[in-house]
């Protein structure tokens, strides 16, 4: 093995490794310094961790959409970020209506369910339309084509919703039941955060069972292995793919509501960056792999919220949190270089590009 390695290694590898190691050293050094200065207390770190996990929860739910679609079609549904935006953006109106009805805080759970249904329905239908109109005709085209289409669709949707609902901010009303926090020992965990983390986890389990245990899940897996064969075995490939998009849409819709519980402002641009992060998360965990998406999202959320203070602060970088997106993307790059199949590996057989 080693011998082969020595023979195969090229200049590029060396440089890439050098870069990687350099960054690693930076990270470690930064962390050590930060921890030594003791600028942050333990409870601070815990708070950041919880925040990160909550954020990760949201990312996870979006990432599931990417992962499902990628798993089946081997394509990055770039427009998934807008699928994510469309639901909650619309749901804010439902929320306003519920307030007008006076249900919002009298039947909080019911209201929440309604809002989630609205959000999920919108997101799902957008996802299905997207597949039907933009992707299905291109299923056999070279892989660059659907990707470009997806990018186009993403912009089209973003600005369509801007046109429909306007470019202003749509605040999402607070829910009394979710205000405040629980004290677990000395650790404060805000109810919204708890909901986000739990919601994500449950959704992940549900999807996982659907994919692994149910009939449609079986069909999905066989389609992802080989569409032609699946078709021969009497599986309705189109229906399976539509279902997949629908599932992705639903999880995105629900993600949207959790997102609004945490960050109660909706606008037409809200999908873009979370979408990008979620994709990063999906790759991080091993795209096409449902638990992977969850794990990846959690890790990413964690690194994003803890990273700047831990790594950069120590290096004496001012306003480190400005660079947290940079951290996320750097992670993406290096994951793809050193472990392209992600933390848990790509569950589905991967096609060569």
Partner 1 sequence: MTLLVAKNVTKRFGGLVALNKIDIEMKDNAIQSIIGPNGAGKTTFFNCVTGFYTPEEGDILLGEHNITGLSPDRVTQLGISRTYQNIRLFKNMTSVENILVGMHPHLKAGLIGGIFRGPLTRKEEAEALKEARRILNFVGLKGRGDMMAKNLPYGEQRRLEIGRALASKPKLLLLDEPTAGMNPSETHEMMNFIRHLRDELGVTILLIEHQMRVVMGISELISVLDFGEKIAEGTPVEIQNNPHVIEAYLGRGAASGLVQAAA
Partner 2 sequence: METNTSFSWKEFVKAGLLGGAVAVLLSLVGMVAAFSGRYIVSGVFTMGQVLFIAPILLSTYAALRRNRQLTNSNLFMAGLLSGLVGSAILALLVLIGSMVNLRAMLINASPELYGILTFGRGTGLGIVILLGLGLLIGAAAAGFLLLPDRIRHALTQAIIWVLLIGLLRDLIVTVSFRWGPLSSIVRQLFAVSGLTIIGALILFLLVGGVSYWRWGRPKRDAAESFNQQRPAARWLTIGITGLILLFLPLILGTFFSEILDNVSMYILMGLGLNIVVGFAGLLDLGYVAFFAIGAYTIGILTSPELGIATMSWWEALPFALLASFLAGFVLGLPVLKMRGDYLAIVTLGFGEIVRLLVLSDWLRPWLGGSQGIQRIAQPSIGPLVLNTQQELYYLFLIGLGLVAFIAWRLKDSRLGRSWMALREDEDVAMAMGINHVSTKLLAFATGALFSGLAGAIFAAKLTSVYPHSMNFLVSINVLSLIIIGGMGSIPGVFIGALVLIAAPDLLREFAEFRYLVYGALLVVMMLTRPEGLWPEKRRQLELHEEEPAVVPAAD
Partner 3 sequence: MFKRSYALLALLVIAGMALAACGPAASAFECTDALGCVTVGPGEPIHLAYAMVISGADETLGVDSRNGVEVAISQKGQVLGHDIQLTGEDEGCSAEGGQAAGTKLAADPTIVAVFGTSCSSAARVAVPLLSQAGFAIISASNTAPDLTEAGNENNHPGYLRTAHNDEIQGAAAAQFAFEELGVTQAATIHDGSLYAEKLQEVFATTFEEMGGTITTTEAVDPNGTDFKGALTSIAATEPEFIYMPIFVNAGSLITRQAKEVPGLEEVRLMGADGMFSPDLVEGAGDAVEGLFLSSPDLASFGPEYQSTFLPKYEEMFGTEPISVFHAHGYDAANMVFAAIEQVAVQDPDGTLHIPRQALRDALYATKDFKGLTGNLTCTPTGDCADPKIAVYESHPGQFPPDRIWP
Q: Build a one-symbol-per-residue string for 26-65: x at contacts with partner 3 by CB under 8 A, - elsewhere.
A: -------------xx--xx--xx--x---x----------
* Crossing angle for the helix pair 108-129 and 237-262, to the nearest 10 degrees: 140
**From 119-127, 168-176, 197-205, 335-343, span contacting partner 3 (CB under 8 A):** 168-176
Q: Quick count: other Cβ atoms within 10 Å of Cβ 350? A: 15
Q: Quick count: other Cβ atoms within 10 Å of Cβ 241? A: 23
**From 9-17, 42-50, 258-266, 303-311, span contacting partner 2 (CB under 8 A):** 9-17
Task: For residue 3, state whether it binds partner 1 (rule: CB under 8 A).
Answer: yes
Task: For residue 309, state whether it binds partner 3 (rule: CB under 8 A).
Answer: yes
Report the partner that residue 183 touches, choosing among partner 3, partner 1, partner 2, none (CB closer than 5 to 8 A by kind). none
* Crossing angle for the helix pair 191-213 and 42-73, to the nearest 10 degrees: 30
- Return the closest-CA partner of residue 296 out of 249, 259, 344, 257: 344
Strands 170-171, 181-184: parallel, antiparallel or unpaired by DSSP?
Answer: unpaired
In order, the DSSP letters of 317-332 are: -SSGGGGHHHHHHHHH
Q: Give the three-class secondary structure for 184.
A: strand
Task: For residue 262, state whether it binds partner 3 (rule: CB under 8 A).
Answer: yes
Number of residues that bind partner 1 (CB under 8 A): 6
Task: For residue 12, state whether it binds partner 1 (rule: CB under 8 A).
Answer: no
| Closest CB to partner 1 among residues 7, 36 | 7
Task: For residue 318, state whether it binds partner 3 (rule: CB under 8 A).
Answer: yes
Residue pair 69/80 in contact by the 8 Å Cβ criterion: yes
| Closest CB to partner 3 among residues 304, 346 | 304
Task: For residue 10, state whether it binds partner 1 (rule: CB under 8 A).
Answer: yes
| Closest CB to partner 2 among residues 210, 333 | 333
| Closest CB to partner 2 among residues 70, 190 | 70
Bridge partners, 183 (sequence order): 188
Among 93, 156, 263, 334, interactor with partner 3 by CB under 8 A: 263
CB burial of 308-341 (b: ≥16 within 10 Å; e: otherwise) equals bbbbbbbeeeeebeeebeebbeebbeebeeeeeb
| Closest CB to partner 2 among residues 90, 244 | 90
Task: For residue 7, state whether it binds partner 1 (rule: CB under 8 A).
Answer: yes
Q: Can you say how many angstroms the Cα of residue 126 is from the centroid of all Cα atoms in its chain? A: 17
Task: For residue 352, state whether it binds partner 1 (rule: CB under 8 A).
Answer: no
SS percent in the chain: helix, strand, coil, step 5: 75, 5, 20
Q: Which of residues 11-40 bind partner 2 (CB under 8 A)?
A: 12, 15-16, 19
Q: Please give the Cα distance from 71 to 79 (Å, whole number).
A: 16
Task: For residue 144, state whether it binds partner 2 (rule: CB under 8 A).
Answer: yes
Among 156, 178, 201, 272, interactor with partner 3 by CB under 8 A: 272
Kindly state the helix (H) or strand (E) to which residue 181 belongs, with its residue range: strand 181-184
Residues at the site binding partner 3, with contacts judged by CB under 8 A: 39-40, 43-44, 47-48, 51, 55, 166-169, 171, 173-174, 179, 181, 188, 190, 259, 262-265, 267, 269-270, 272-274, 304-306, 308-309, 313, 318-322, 324-325
Residues at the site binding partner 1, with contacts judged by CB under 8 A: 1, 3-4, 7-8, 10
């Amino acid at each position: 093995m080693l011998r082969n390695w020595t023979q195969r290694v090229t200049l590029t590898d060396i440089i890439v490794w050098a870069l990687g190691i350099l960054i690693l050293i930076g990270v470690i050094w930064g962390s050590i310094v930060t921890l030594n200065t003791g600028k942050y207390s333990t409870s601070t770190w815990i708070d950041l961790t919880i925040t990160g996990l909550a954020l990760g929860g949201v990312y996870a739910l979006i990432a599931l959409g990417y992962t499902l679609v990628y798993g089946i079609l081997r394509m990055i549904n770039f427009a998934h970020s807008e699928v994510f935006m469309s639901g909650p953006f619309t749901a804010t109106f439902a929320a306003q209506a519920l307030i007008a009805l006076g249900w919002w805080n009298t039947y909080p759970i019911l209201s929440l369910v309604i809002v989630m249904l609205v959000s999920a329905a919108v997101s799902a239908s957008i996802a299905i339309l997207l597949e039907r109109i933009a992707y299905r005709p291109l299923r056999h085209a070279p892989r660059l084509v659907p990707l470009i289409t997806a990018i186009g669709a993403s912009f089209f949707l973003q600005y369509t919703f801007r046109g429909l609902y306007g470019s202003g901010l749509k605040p999402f009303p607070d829910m009394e039941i979710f205000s405040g926090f629980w004290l677990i020992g000395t650790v404060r965990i805000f109810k919204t955060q708890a909901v986000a983390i739990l919601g994500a986890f449950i959704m992940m389990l549900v999807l996982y069972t659907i994919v692994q245990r149910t009939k449609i899940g079986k069909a999905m897996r066989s389609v992802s292995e080989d569409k032609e064969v699946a078709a021969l075995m009497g599986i309705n490939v189109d229906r399976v793919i539509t279902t997949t998009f629908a599932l992705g849409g639903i999880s995105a819709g629900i993600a949207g509501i959790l997102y609004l519980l945490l960050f109660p402002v909706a606008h037409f641009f809200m999908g873009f960056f979370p979408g990008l992060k979620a994709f990063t998360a999906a790759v991080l965990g091993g795209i096409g792999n449902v638990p992977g998406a969850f794990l990846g999202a959690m890790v990413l959320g964690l690194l994003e919220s803890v990273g700047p203070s831990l790594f950069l602060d120590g290096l004496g970088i001012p306003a480190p949190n400005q660079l947290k997106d940079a951290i996320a993307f750097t992670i993406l790059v290096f994951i793809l270089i050193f472990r392209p199949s992600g933390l848990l590996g790509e569950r589905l057989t991967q096609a060569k590009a």
